[in-house]
Amino acid sequence: AQRVTQPEKLLSVFKGAPVELKCNYSYSGSPELFWYVQYSRQRLQLLLRHISRESIKGFTADLNKGETSFHLKKPFAQEEDSAMYYCALKSAGKLIFGQGTTLQVKP
């Protein structure tokens, strides 16, 4: 079955600390994975996709097929990074989302 798992409901770090938001997936085939972010009182929006191998707002994510993971990382967290983060897997024209992780960056 296709599934996305984000094991942490809440991740709390201090400003300047490294951040890693975990995402594991289950998919038969070549996966396409994404990270979406929802800032307070804003709409859900695309942060990055693994195909483009880009860095957005200092965040990167590498697809590890061996570990079936797509963890989101940032070396130095900022207070404005506080938000809900969703990992998503593309499947037959739709996205399957994980449970979401709330990132709280404390001053």
Partner 1 sequence: NAGVTQTPKFRVLKTGQSMTLLCAQDMNHEYMYWYRQDPGMGLRLIHYSVGEGTTAKGEVPDGYNVSRLKKQNFLLGLESAAPSQTSVYFCASSQTGDYGYTFGSGTRLTVV
Q: Which is nearer to partner 1, 13 or 96 (CB)?
A: 96
Say if residues 37 and 45 touch (Cβ distance below 8 Å).
Answer: yes
Say if residues 10 and 85 touch (Cβ distance below 8 Å).
Answer: no
Among 29, 66, 93, 107, binds partner 1 (CB under 8 A): 93
Q: Is 100 in the site for partner 1 (CB under 8 A)?
A: yes
What part of residues 9-68 is at the interface with partner 1 (CB under 8 A)? 9, 32, 34, 36, 43-46, 49
Q: Is 97 in the site for partner 1 (CB under 8 A)?
A: yes
- What are the beta bridge partners of residue 23? none
Scanning 13-21, 54-62, 70-78, 88-96 for contacts with partner 1 by CB under 8 A, the matching segment is: 88-96
Q: Could you tell me the smallest distance in angstroms from the CB atom of residue 64 to partner 1?
A: 19
Say if residues 26 and 2 touch (Cβ distance below 8 Å).
Answer: yes
Scanning 54-62, 63-71, 72-80, 98-106 for contacts with partner 1 by CB under 8 A, the matching segment is: 98-106
Q: If we measure between CA atoms, which residue out of 46, 70, 44, 72 comes closest to residue 59?
A: 72
Question: Which residue in this structure is represented by tokens 């289950």?
Answer: 26
Give Cα 102 to chain centroid, integer Å. Answer: 10
